[in-house]
Amino acid sequence: MPDSVLDDPNLLPARERFWIGALSDERWSSNRTVVAEVDGTIVGIAMSGPAQEPDATEESQLHLIYVDAAHHGCGAGPALLNAVLDPGESAVLWVADPNPRAQAFYRKHRFAPDGPSKTEDGVREVRWVRAAGTS
């Protein structure tokens, strides 16, 4: 993400509004949101919901998954993913490109790019999908 986005003084208030809405607005009540904790400290978060693409044939969309870099490789990522997406359901997500670490994670969990891309806030994203099936 460009420094200009991270340095924007409106970023934190905007993120706060996002999370208040995501966690309390009835429109998003079907979303699944979970956190990963280590010794009472949140080290990761994930959220999914119904697929939002107008042409989506997938059941769900992974909206976000983040794990603190100090906890990469500890199993939090797969646990978060499986907590918000049933391993057998079809799903779609958008991932920053390039982002080799995240893309390797999604590939390991049966996601693959299917072509579409977009650029928002100076960040190029590629759509990845996972077909329904066993994990």
Q: Where does CATH 3.40.630.30 sit in the chain? A: 31-130
Is 31-130 a domain of CATH 3.40.630.30? yes
Summarised one tens digit per residue, pLDDT across range 58-110 is 999 999 999 999 999 999 999 999 999 998 999 999 999 999 999 999 999 99
Summarised one tens digit per residue, pLDDT across range 33-52 is 999 999 999 999 999 999 98
Kindly state the greatest CA–CA separation across the chain.
44
Pair 72, 80: CB distance under 8 Å:
no
Res 5: pLDDT: 79
130 has pLDDT over 90 = yes
Res 1: pLDDT: 67
Cβ neighbours of residue 33 closer than 8 Å, sequence gap 6 or more: 22, 23, 45, 46, 47, 84
At 75 the three-state DSSP class reads coil
